[in-house]
Structure 1
Amino acid sequence: MQYQDIYQFWFVTCSESDWWKKSVHFDHKIKSQFSVHHRMAMQGELAHWRAEPIGALCEIIILDQFSRNMFRDTPNAFASDALALCLAQHAIDKGVDKQLNDTELSFLYMPFMHSESKIIHQQAEALFRALPNYEFELAHKKIIDQFGRYPHRNQILNRVSSDDELQFLTQAGSSF
C-alpha cells in the first residue's frame, strides 16, 4: 500500500461524519485495513513518504487519527501523539503546509490540537486561525489552559482526576 491509498480512504472514501463520530464498525475497518501501516509508521518505516507533501500528511494521519480509531479507549490511542506532533512540526518547517488545502491542513495541524502542552496550543491557535475548525481548537486550548491536560483522558491513562476535573467532566462538551 502506498500513501495514495491512505489519502483515497481518508479524503475520498470516508465522509466527514466518519472522521468525527464514534463507530465500532469504522474503528474495526481502520484497524483491519491499516494496522500494518500503523506499526510501520511507529517504527519509522514510512519515512520515504515524507518526500511528498501528501505522503507526509498521510503518515501523520496514520499516527494521529488512525491511532484514535484503532485503539479507542485504551492508552495506545495516544501513544503515537508525540511522534505525530514531531512529524507535523517537521512538515511545517519544510513548507508542506503551503501545499495543502484547508481540509488537509486541518489534519496536518491536528497533532497540535491533540497535544496536552500549553506551548503547543499557543502554536495551534495561530495555525488554526484561518481554518474552519479554529473555534474547535480554541475549545481544546481552553481545557489545556485550565487543566494542563485533557481530563477525559485521565481514566484511560490511569491518571488521578482532581476535584475540579471531576466537576468539569460532568459538563456537556467536556470530551471530544
Structure 2
Amino acid sequence: MKKVTVYCGSNKGRNPIYVTAAQALATEMIRRDMALVYGAGNVGLMGVIADKMLEAGKDVYGIIPQKLVDIEVAHIGCTELTVVETMRDRKWLMAERGDGFVAMPGGIGTFEELFEIMTLNQLGYIRKPLALYNVNGYYDKLIDFLKFSCEEGFLHQAQLDLLIISTDPVELLDKMAAFQPKFIEKWEVK
C-alpha cells in the first residue's frame, strides 16, 4: 500500500484533537513512505494533512472539480493537481488512485465517500481496505447504527467486517496493510 486516499472534512471541527489526529495520520504515512490522494482542498482537515505531507517532501495527489477551483479552495501546492468536471469524476479518480482508504472525521461529503467505497467493495468493483479513523469517538454512533442495520437484516455482517476501525493511526495503517480482500458471493439474509 503506497497511496492512501484520505477522506476528511473541509472544516477543522471545534475540537483541536481533529487537527492533531490529522497530523498524526500524516506523520505515520510519512514514516511509511506513503503518498496521499485526497480532494485537493487547502482548507480544514484536508489542508492540514496535505500540508504535513508536503512539508515532509511526500507526494500529494489532489483531485478537485473545476467549480471548487473557481471558489479558490484548491491546494496549489499539490505534487499533482488534477482538475475534473464533476464530483462524480473526482470520487472515481480518488477510488482508482488509492491503494486503500481512510475516512477521518468530516461532513456529508466524507460520509458519501465512505459509503461509496463500502458499496464498491461489497459489489466487487474494487478490493481495497477501508478504515474509519475514529478520532474522539466521532464515528461511535455511526458504528452503532451500522451494527443495528446488521441486526435488522439490511446490512450483512460480512460487509461490516470489511470495515477497519481504529483510533490509532499506527494500528489503522497496520490493519490496512494486512487486509485480505474478500468477495462474498451471496448477500442474502439468513
**TM-score per shorter chain, which class?**
0.3 to 0.5
- With normalisation by structure 1, the TM-score equals 0.33
Relative to the length of structure 2, the TM-score reads 0.32
